C-alpha cells in the first residue's frame, strides 16, 4: 500500500522567533535547525530579510541561511517583503523566497507598508530578479489574512481569488493561503482552497494555519481533503504575527506530524527526534512557553508511524 506524502514546512525559526521579545543567539538557532533536520524536516523557513531595526530577532538571517545550506536535501527558505530583501536573500543563497502578500489592505499597509496591488508589482520585480540571477530559486507568495483580518474584519473571498490570479500572472511559482489571524474554520478552508485551486490549479501552495481558536488541526485536515500537500507549522506552536493583534498560535509541528502519521500519511519525520528538537529551542529561549498536546502526552502504546503501518499492512 502506497501512502501519499505530505510536506511539513517548519516556519518556527522565522515566524516563531519574530513573534517573541527575546532574541535567540545565532549558535542556538543553528543548533535548533540542526535538530530539526535530524528529525527529518525537509523545508525550513530560517529567517527573514528585513531591516534589523524592525526585527532584531532575525538580524543574523544571512548567516543562518549559509549554515542551513550545509544540509543536503533541505530546502532553505526565507521571507522577503520587497525587492531589496530578495536581493539579500539571493546573495545569501536561499533555495526559496516567500513573499507576504496580504489580502487585507489594512494589514498589508501595517505589515509591509504597501497595498496588495503594490505587492503584486513587487512580486513581479522579484520574479524578474530571480529569473536573472538564480532561475532555480522558487518564489512563493503567502496570501496573508486570507480568512479574515483583526484590523479590517471580513476579507472577501473574491478578493483572495483575484489576488492569487494576479500573483500567478506576475510569475510566482506558488500561492499559499495564510490564516494569519486565526479566524478560519474548516468549511471556510475547504471552500477557499477549492476556489483558489480552480483559479490557479497546481500553483496552489501551502496552507499556513493558526491554532488561535483551537481549530488549527481541523483546518489542516480540511485543506488536506482539498488536495493541499504542503503545510506550514512551528515547533512548539511558537509564533504569530506582530502586525495582527491577538493572532498567536501557529499550528504545532509535533501535533500536525502525529495526526498525519497516525492516519498513515508519511511525513518523513521521526516524532521522537522531533520532540527532542524542543530541547535546543528551550535552551535558546528560556522561559518562553511552548505548546503541543502530543509532546506532553507522548506517543500512544503500540503507535506505528506511516511507513511501519505500510509494512504491517503488507505482512
* pLDDT per residue as tens digits for the range 288-310: 989 999 999 999 999 999 988 86
**14 half-sphere exposure, CB direction, 13 A CA radius:** 26
> Which residues on adjacent β-strands are paired with residue 77?
45, 96
User: What residues contact 191, with CB distance under 8 A and at least 6 apart?
Assistant: 157
114: number of Cβ within 10 Å: 18
The reported pLDDT for the residue numbered 241 is 55
Secondary structure E strands in 57-137: 75-79, 96-102
Q: Which residues of the chain have pLDDT under 70?
A: 1-4, 240-248, 310-315
Q: What is residue 32's three-state secondary structure?
A: helix
For residues 61 and 75, what is the distance between their CA atoms, to the nearest angstrom? 15
- Residue 276 included in any domain: yes
Q: What integer pLDDT is reported at residue 312 of this predicted model? A: 66
Residue 308, domain member (yes or no): yes
The confidence score (pLDDT) of residue 112 equals 81
pTM of the entire predicted model = 0.94
In Å, the largest CA–CA distance within the chain is: 58
pLDDT of residue 181: 86
The whole domain housing 282 covers 7-314
pLDDT at 311: 65
Question: How much is the pLDDT for 3?
Answer: 45
Cα 234 → chain centroid:
8
Closest C-alpha among 21, 79, 102 to residue 285:
21
Considering the domain boundaries, does residue 49 fall inside one?
yes
> Between helices 105-112 and 116-133, what is the axis angle to 10°?
50
Quote the cell numbers at residue 70.
550545509
Is 241 an active-site residue? yes
Q: What does the pLDDT read at residue 57?
A: 94
Cα separation values, 105 from 52, 79, 127, 162, 247, Å? 24, 19, 22, 14, 17
Report d(CA 43, CA 65) in Å as an integer: 12
Q: Is residue 153 part of a domain?
A: yes
Using alpha carbons, list the distances in angstroms from residue 89 to 42, 46, 240, 273, 304.
Answer: 19, 11, 22, 29, 39
Q: Which of 200, 254, 284, 313 is nearest to 192 (CA)?
A: 200
Report how many domains make up the chain: 1
Is 135 part of any domain? Answer: yes
CATH number of the domain encompassing residue 139: 3.20.20.70
For residue 2, tell me if it sits in a domain. no
Q: Look at residue 1 in the predicted model and tell me its pLDDT.
A: 39
- 1 lies in some domain: no
Amino acid at each position: 500500500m502506497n501512502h501519499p506524502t505530505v510536506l511539513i514546512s517548519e516556519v518556527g525559526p522565522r515566524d516563531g522567533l519574530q513573534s517573541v521579545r527575546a532574541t535567540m543567539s545565532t549558535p542556538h538557532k543553528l543548533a535548533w535547525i540542526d535538530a530539526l533536520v535530524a528529525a527529518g524536516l525537509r523545508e525550513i523557513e530560517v529567517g527573514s530579510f528585513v531591516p534589523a531595526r524592525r526585527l532584531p530577532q532575525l538580524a543574523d538571517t544571512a548567516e543562518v541561511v549559509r549554515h542551513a545550506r550545509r544540509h543536503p536535501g533541505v530546502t532553505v527558505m526565507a521571507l522577503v517583503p520587497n525587492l531589496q530583501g530578495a536581493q539579500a536573500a539571493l546573495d545569501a543563497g536561499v533555495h526559496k523566497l516567500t513573499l507576504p502578500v496580504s489580502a487585507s489592505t489594512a494589514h498589508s499597509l501595517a505589515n509591509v507598508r504597501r497595498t496588495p496591488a503594490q505587492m503584486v508589482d513587487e512580486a513581479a520585480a522579484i520574479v524578474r530578479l530571480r529569473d536573472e540571477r538564480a532561475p532555480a530559486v522558487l518564489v512563493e507568495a503567502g496570501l496573508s489574512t486570507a480568512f479574515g483580518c483583526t484590523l479590517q474584519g471580513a476579507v472577501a473571498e473574491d478578493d483572495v481569488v483575484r489576488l492569487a490570479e494576479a500573483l500567478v500572472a506576475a510569475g510566482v511559482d506558488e500561492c499559499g493561503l495564510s490564516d494569519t489571524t486565526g479566524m478560519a474554520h474548516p468549511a471556510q478552508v475547504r471552500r477557499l482552497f477549492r476556489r483558489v485551486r480552480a483559479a490557479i490549479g497546481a500553483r496552489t501552495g501551502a496552507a499556513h494555519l493558526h491554532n488561535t481558536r483551537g481549530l488549527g488541526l481541523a483546518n489542516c485536515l480540511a485543506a488536506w481533503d482539498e488536495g493541499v500537500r504542503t503545510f506550514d507549522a512551528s515547533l512548539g506552536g511558537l509564533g504569530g504575527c506582530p502586525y495582527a493583534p491577538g493572532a498567536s498560535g501557529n499550528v504545532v509541528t509535533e501535533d500536525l506530524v502525529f495526526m498525519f502519521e497516525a492516519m498513515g500519511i508519511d511525513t518523513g519525520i521521526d516524532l521522537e527526534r522531533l520532540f527532542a528538537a524542543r530541547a535546543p529551542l528551550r535552551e535558546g529561549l528560556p522561559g518562553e512557553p511552548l505548546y503541543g498536546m502530543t509532546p506532553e502526552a507522548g506517543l500512544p502504546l503500540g503507535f506505528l508511524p506511516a511507513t511501519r503501518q505500510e509494512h504491517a499492512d503488507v505482512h
